[in-house]
Amino acid sequence: MVIGRRLRALREQKNLSQGDIEKRTGLLRCYISRVENGHTVPSLETLERLAAALEVPLYQLFYEGENPPPLPNLSARESTEDLVMDEATEKEVRFFEKVKRVLGRIDEKDRQLLLYMAQKLASR
């Protein structure tokens, strides 16, 4: 699918001119024409502006079905802290809590230095 043809079809479906889209997005009419004719590929930010001007969700610029596309079945994501605590022993949990308290008391400059040193050690 060529995105320009889809944009033109949606614009014409809503009885809007390129001038109307220009006013709603702040994009130049000549740019809108270049996109619709396939001479320019718009950035994601520009596509978001065009979708807002056409009053459609962004996915509709790429999807032609009647209903929204089905969402993938994504498992619930856990935070890094939850993942660490699931596998940690009681001794490790106490150690992590102690490190957390100490890091809360040191100033930002020292925290950045500590993080830098840890990154250097981890990269070896």
- pLDDT tens-digit profile of 50-88? 999 999 888 888 877 777 777 776 666 566 666 666 666
Task: Please report the pLDDT score of residue 119 as a whole number.
Answer: 83
Residues of the chain with CATH 1.10.260.40: 3-61
Q: What is the DSSP letter of 15?
A: T
Is residue 31 exposed (0-12), middle (13-18) or buried (19+ Cβ within 10 Å)?
Answer: middle
Predicted TM-score of the model (pTM):
0.55
DSSP string for 43-80: PHHHHHHHHHHHTS-GGGGT--SSSPPPPP-PPPPPPH
Side chain identity at residue 84, one-letter code = V
* pLDDT average, residue stretch 10-27: 93
Instruction: Give the C-alpha separation, 103 to 111, whole Å.
Output: 7
CATH class, range 3-61: mainly alpha
DSSP state of 41: P
Q: Name 36's Cβ contacts closer than 8 Å, sequence gap at least 6.
A: 4, 5, 7, 8, 11, 18
Q: Which two tokens stand for residue 85?
A: 């605590």
Single out the residue of 103, 96, 104, 59 nearest to residue 80, CA to CA.
Answer: 96
| Separation between Cα atoms, residue 35 and residue 9, nearest integer Å | 13
Which is more confident, 81 or 18? 18
71 vs 31 pLDDT, higher one: 31
